[in-house]
A and B are shown apart, each in its own frame.
Chain A
Amino acid sequence: MLLVPCPHCGPRNQSDLRLLGEAVPRPNPNTATRAEWGEYLYLRDNPADYVTETWYCRAGCRRYFTVERHQATNEFRNPPLPGDKVGNSTYTTITVGSSGKQRGANEGEAS
């Protein structure tokens, strides 16, 4: 069982969190091609090396954060600290309507 370094709750048992997989930048929905969507949705590097991945602290602070973990040794590297601008912005940010207004999941509901 791993101890996952949540930036808000400190080290927590792996069973308190959910691994959401590699943090992959989201393509621009207005211009993305089919191949780009396919790559964003499905293709992964899956290295036996450090990978930047997104975790969800489901039984703790219920926030998303990204951290680097080695996929062969399971060691964490550069754990984020509280106050760090954590979270892959391309993961937590969605574009609303045509105005291009940004809404971040870490920053509370906009309206």
Chain B
Amino acid sequence: MVSFRKSNPGPVRYSAATLARKGLSGDDWPRVWRDHDLRKTYDVIIIGGGVHGLATAYYLATNHDITNVAVLDKGYLGGGGSGRNTAIVRSNYLTPEGVAFYDRSLTLYNSMAADLNINVMFSERGHMTLAHTDSALRTMHWRAEVNKLQGIDSSVIDPQEVKKICPSLDITSHPRYPILGALHHPPGGIIRHDAVVWGYARGADHAGVHLHQKTEVLDILCEGGGLADGKGAGGKVTGVRTNRGDISAPIVVNCTAGWGSLISNMAGVKLPIVTHPLEAAVTEPVKVFLPAVVVSGSLHVYVSQTDRGELVFGASVDPLATYSMRGSLSFTEELAGHILELMPGISKMRLLRQWAGLCDMTPDYSPIMGFTPVEGHLTDVGWGTYGFKAGPVSGEQMAECIATQQTPKLIAPFKLSRFETGELVGEKGAAAVGH
């Protein structure tokens, strides 16, 4: 049952002309996506309505003509990691596999506004990862060389150049960790993360995908496996049980963040994931003074200024593994101390609010993508602290993986079996704090 408002059947194209027409006529805008009744059967069920799940659905429909697809979310679209991250995108990673993968994502982000016909407010303002120690500087040089070999614009700059780009940074030798240099990555920047979610949701809905909010997956139904109820290795997926009834489907994709282990456990697949919260905070808005994204691994902080003028801070993950998203005073205290080391001039600014999101941390700081030992159960999980920037490429590659039933080359290094064979993709040097 389609429930677009009757006066506006079908989605409209967003443009200045539409805005003027709607503004003058006072017509309602159509809903961005529709509600549907749950079908009994889908070709593909995607669990998790964030950037990853919606992008997978969108590319399944647009690149591969698979439209009998449902995206299930227990809350609302974009309410998890997609709405809690600090909206930074970049591709200056450490391993060749990581660089190639994230660079493809950046390419898709660059053309996203045109592709999805939505203003995602991508601001390519440059990304600086500060080095405060000799070993950090050495890693920056390493990353710069790996990046350059793959054609990524990335170089190490000295403190004077850092000061030229961001005059508010303290480059003197006074702080406990003085700035010795930085890895400068001009193509990095920030983007409006909600618009990315809405853009993919609108595109997927327009192509015929069903988006089901407030639909919680309670169990994944399997047969033929070695564990209880036919779950586990050697079995295959037959559908899912939700709070709105059972649905059958030959393919069930886990695109959740934070709950990745719990969902795959429902199919009898154990993952190398530990869930940690990551806290972030935002200040009151002030005039624009910070022209780039600034990251400091040693000080566990990254900061950027939004178009509204607020400073958005993120930190490293909390050391405590937990599903609780409570904020803590110790976080605020440490954050304030560290950020004032970098920018003493903002000591009078006030924090507006803080929040936390869940990060599925893997041992090598790389995701787990593709097939699992249970036939028909695919994962796109383990996104740790770097999931948002990989959303578009993950959707594109997972859609290809589902449609062709073969693992695309770009995500082959991120297979689950690497934890048995030892072929880890160690990204800790570029992903542990830096965003």
Q: A residues bordering B, Cβ < 8 Å?
A: 1-2, 14-15, 18-19, 21-22, 34-35, 38-39, 41-48, 53, 71-74
Contact = CB atoms under 8 A, between A and B. Distances in A.
Nearest to A73: B324
Contacts of A72: 322-324
A1 B319 contact: no
Contact of A46 (B274, B329, B422): B274
A41 B324 contact: no
B323 A71 contact: yes
Contact of A19 (B271, B320, B324, B328): B320
Interface string B247-271: 0000000000001011001000011
B319 A41 contact: no
Contacts of B324: 72-74
B330 A15 contact: yes
B262 A34 contact: no
Given A2-B320, A35-B420, A42-B363, A47 B330 contact: no
Contacts of A21: 274, 321
B421 interface: yes
A4 B272 CA distance: 25
Nearest to A15: B330
Contacts of B152: none
B419 A38 contact: yes
Residue of A34, A42, A72 most packed against chain B (CB within 10 A):
A42
Contacts of B323: 48, 71-72
A47 to B, nearest CB: 7
Please classify the interface of chain B as helix (H, G, I), strand (E, B), loop, or mixed, using the class held by over half of its residues.
loop
A22 B270 CA distance: 14
A19 B274 CA distance: 12
B94 to A, nearest CB: 20
Nearest to A39: B270
Contacts of B322: 71-72, 74
Interface string B210-242: 000000000000000000000000000000000
Contacts of B319: 18-19
A45 B420 contact: no
A23 to B, nearest CB: 13
A14 B421 CA distance: 35
Contacts of B271: 43-44, 46
Contacts of A44: 261, 270-274
Nearest to B262: A48
26 contacts: A1-B330, A2-B320, A15-B330, A19-B320, A21-B274, A21-B321, A34-B420, A38-B422, A39-B270, A41-B363, A41-B419, A42-B363, A43-B270, A44-B270, A44-B271, A44-B272, A44-B273, A45-B261, A45-B265, A46-B261, A46-B271, A46-B274, A46-B275, A47-B261, A73-B324, A74-B322
Nearest to A43: B270
A3 to B, nearest CB: 12
A28 B322 CA distance: 30
